[in-house]
Amino acid sequence: MRAFIKKYWLLLTILFGGAVVVLFLLTRGRVQPPVPSPSPTPQPFVLEHVFPPSGKQELGDAGLALSFSFSTPIDLSSVVVTLKPYLPFDLFTDKEGKILYIKPLPKWNYNVEYKINISLKSKDGKELDSPIEQVFMFTQMRNSPLSE
């Protein structure tokens, strides 16, 4: 066997090297290239929902907070609220920062028309296309256990 290896060592080296190259090429074709992770689509910053809606509303609890739901979290430090006639209020958000609450201190006055303007930014610095403007009036509920 040694004599055979000595005589054909060059041929065996070429065959072994060729086999290694062939195996390398065959396995390399099976390896999947890394798939790039998709980048998230930027979310527009918009007002999605207001509660209660504009207009005249019957309200059983005059301490109810207004709520403004947004598509992305808001920067609470950027919120500017103008309320006419003026009434003290508190501003806060939900855990996600997507809902802005405006709670009267101590409560809304019935049969008073309020005009509210709100400007704010999202946490990533986006602004609304235009400030939020809402006009509302609360009236006391009739025939409600809360009004007795």
Phi then psi for 128, rounded to 5 degrees?
A: -70, 155
CA-to-CA dists, residue 23 to 12, 14, 28, 34, angstroms: 16, 14, 8, 21
State the pLDDT at residue 147. Answer: 47
Asked if residues 111 and 141 have their Cβ atoms less than 8 Å apart, the reply is no
Asked if residues 90 and 76 have their Cβ atoms less than 8 Å apart, the reply is no
Q: 43-68: per-residue pLDDT in tens?
A: 889 999 999 888 898 888 889 999 99
Q: 12-25: per-residue pLDDT in tens?
A: 677 666 666 666 66
